[in-house]
Amino acid sequence: MKEDSLISAAAKRAADPMTRTDWADRGAPELAPPATPEQVDQAQRALKCRLHPLHRRLLQEVGNGGFGPADGLIGVPGGRTDDDGRSVVELRDQLFAGNTGIGVPVQIVPLCDWGGGVWSCIDEDTGHVLMLDEAGLINTGMSLHEWIGDWVNNVSLTEKLFTFEEHTGINPFTKKPMTTRLRSRPIGTPYRGRTS
């Protein structure tokens, strides 16, 4: 899908509160108004990196967060924040504070929260989507274009990005055996810096 078509498809899905995020059934977040060029410029200065062109277009043409995979993209200051009121600027500073030995380059910026301490991030230089959990950064092998493209086409990114574990037990209400399937680790390889 060409980038202009991708932006149009993302805007169409984002306009509907029932499809705005993967978790809209839990309560659709409000779609933030598009970011202004000034907001993006200020965020880039604070982040000390330039946003990837597609990331910038999504924020400026679809909305400054509040749409997309999982609970939706987090915006630059003035847009949608995470559940703790942080824009991508504050969130990146807090997620990578103390640089826990994983060597996080300045161009890694959070995209969205998957819950359970797992975040999708972007390498703003290359446009590759990464996953961050307690073990560090994982390279998913997906570009932002592919990631948003899958989302607009209703591909389950949860199934594509995570491994799952099955657990069996006895249902406490029915006393019958039951199997639960729980999300486990992100799929990919350890992030080793710039990907081509």
Q: Provide the residue-wise pLDDT of the chain in tens; the chain has 196 residues.
A: 999 999 999 999 999 999 999 988 787 779 999 999 999 999 999 999 999 999 999 999 999 999 999 999 999 999 999 999 999 999 998 888 755 444 578 899 999 999 989 999 999 999 999 999 988 899 999 999 999 999 999 999 999 998 878 888 889 899 998 888 777 788 899 887 754 4
Instruction: Tell me how far apart the alpha carbons of residues 19 and 12 are, in angstroms, rounded to a whole number.
Output: 9
Find the distance separating the first CA and the last CA of the chain, reported in whole Å. 21
Residue type for position 169: G
Q: Which domain holds residue 55?
A: 3-190
pLDDT at position 26: 82
Residue 35 lies in a domain: yes
| Helical (H) or strand (E) element with 47 | helix 37-47
Instruction: Give rounded-to-5 percent helix, strand, coil for the chain.
Output: 30, 25, 45
Query: Considering the domain boundaries, does residue 196 fall inside one?
Result: no
The total of structural domains in the chain comes to 1
H or E element at residue 159: helix 157-161
Is residue 179 in a domain?
yes
Assigned token pair, 164: 């799952």
| Within-domain flag for 10 | yes
Residue 123 is predicted with a pLDDT of 96
Give the CATH number of the domain where residue 158 resides: 3.40.1580.10
| Residue 44 belongs to a domain | yes
| 156 SS3 class | coil
> Is residue 183 included in any domain, yes or no?
yes
Domain contains 195:
no
Q: What is the pLDDT, as a whole number, of residue 100?
A: 45
pLDDT of residue 181: 73
| pTM, two decimal places | 0.88
